Amino acid sequence: MIKLDISTLIFFYTLFSAITILVVWYLFGHKRAPRQIGKDMDYTWKCSVCFHSYIDSKHDEISVCPLCGSYNKKAEAGGLGT
């Protein structure tokens, strides 16, 4: 029979628990879907006064900056309002 003291048992329990957690974290961490930035760029605005970037999906042509309250007009190209 193998004789182990309590400190050796605690060490192996901690070691195997940490290895199990790392393996599960590695396996499930790679299955997340990448974020789609293309749709967000349609709603992204940049304030012409304070240069704050924000998302506003309610308005098409003119939007109000949530930081300074100024009105911004949608730019022609690039998706960012100036």
The model's pTM is 0.42
H-type alpha helices, 1-82: 6-29, 37-42
pLDDT of residue 28: 84
User: pLDDT (tens digit, 9 = 90+) per residue, 20-42?
Assistant: 999 998 888 766 666 655 566 66
- CB-based contact 64:71 (threshold 8 Å): yes
pLDDT of residue 79: 47
What are the Cα distances from residue 60, in Å, to 19, 46, 67, 68? 51, 14, 19, 19
CA trace torsion 50, 65, 54, 42 (10° rounding):
-120
User: pLDDT (tens digit, 9 = 90+) per residue, 10-20?
Assistant: 999 999 999 99
Chain centre to alpha carbon of residue 25:
17
